[in-house]
A and B are shown apart, each in its own frame.
Chain A
Amino acid sequence: NAGVMQNPRHLVRRRGQEARLRCSPMKGHSHVYWYRQLPEEGLKFMVYLQKENIIDESGMPKERFSAEFPKEGPSILRIQQVVRGDSAAYFCASSPGASSYNEQFFGPGTRLTVL
């Protein structure tokens, strides 16, 4: 059973470009969480999605950031008009259910560098 997959592992963008980060959850998991890790910091929650629904986006910046988890395909975190402050590692985690008893399994992360 493959683990959580994220691609690309490394992404370089120039200021003003768009960044698309993909997350394929573990087989059978329909819940996805996105976290951001700034340098020398812990992970910070961004958004929680179920298939076709955003459940909680309280950690998402109000502008330029969006996320989706379509019925088919991976979850996508999209950052428009990137700025240097967006440089970070972005992790997704998947879970089989909404219960907080369920463990979250993390992907390897995408390291975004904005030039």
Chain B
Amino acid sequence: AQTVTQSQPEMSVQEAETVTLSCTYDTSESDYYLFWYKQPPSRQMILVIRQEAYKQQNATENRFSVNFQKAAKSFSLKISDSQLGDAAMYFCAYRSANYGGSQGNLIFGKGTKLSVKP
């Protein structure tokens, strides 16, 4: 079974600085998707960024980028120019690329609580 591990329960960053959140996963599959979700105090789950495992190029979305190391099964999130609105829980998630059935659900890590200091 696949597992996702986030080893940093809490992180803190100064406003305008850069922070990196870590995520490792375990799988025997070769094709899958990886995601970072943001959960602010409102509890709404917001997709931040996604990465297809077959793509070597790291995904980027504005101030958010990932460092995807497939061999090491590592998927870290870098937030540049941190803003107060970035403060939230961040969850790393895995999803198999096998078509349909039980492979469609997301497997989440326990999350990292990010604080942003003004």
Determine the interface band of chain B, counting residues with CB < 8 A from chain A.
20 to 34
Asked if A18 CB lies within 8 Å of chain B CBs, one says no
Asked if A1 CB lies within 8 Å of chain B CBs, one says no
A48's partner among B46, B96, B105, B107 (CB-CB below 8 A) is B105
Mask of B79-118 contacts with A, CB within 8 angstroms, 1/0: 0000000000001010111111111111111110000000
Instruction: Please tell me if the beta carbons of A58 and B102 are within 8 angstroms of each other in the complex.
Output: yes
Instruction: Please tell me if the beta carbons of B104 and A109 are within 8 angstroms of each other in the complex.
Output: no
Instruction: Please tell me if the beta carbons of A108 and B105 are within 8 angstroms of each other in the complex.
Output: no
**Contact A100 B104, CB 8 Å, known A42-B91, A108-B44:** yes
Residues of the A chain whose Cβ atoms lie less than 8 Å from the Cβ of B99: 98-100
Instruction: Please tell me if the beta carbons of A42 and B102 are within 8 angstroms of each other in the complex.
Output: no
Instruction: Please tell me if the beta carbons of A56 and B101 are within 8 angstroms of each other in the complex.
Output: yes
**Contact A42 B109, CB 8 Å, known A100-B99, A100-B103:** yes
**Contact A100 B44, CB 8 Å, known A43-B106, A45-B105:** no
How far apart sit A108 and B91, CA to CA, in the bound complex (Å)? Answer: 16
Residues of the A chain whose Cβ atoms lie less than 8 Å from the Cβ of B97: 100-101
Residues of the A chain whose Cβ atoms lie less than 8 Å from the Cβ of B111: 41-42
**Contact A100 B110, CB 8 Å, known A56-B105, A59-B105, A109-B44:** no
B105's partner among A33, A41, A99 (CB-CB below 8 A) is A33
Q: How many residues of A contact B (CB 8 A)?
A: 28
Asked if B33 CB lies within 8 Å of chain A CBs, one says yes
**Contact A104 B102, CB 8 Å, known A43-B45, A91-B45, A109-B44:** no
Instruction: Please tell me if the beta carbons of B33 and A48 are within 8 angstroms of each other in the complex.
Output: no
**Contact A108 B106, CB 8 Å, known A98-B100, A99-B99, A100-B95:** no
Closest to A98 in B: B100
Asked if A106 CB lies within 8 Å of chain B CBs, one says yes
Closest to B43 in A: A109
Mask of A39-62 contacts with B, CB within 8 angstroms, 1/0: 011111100100000011011000
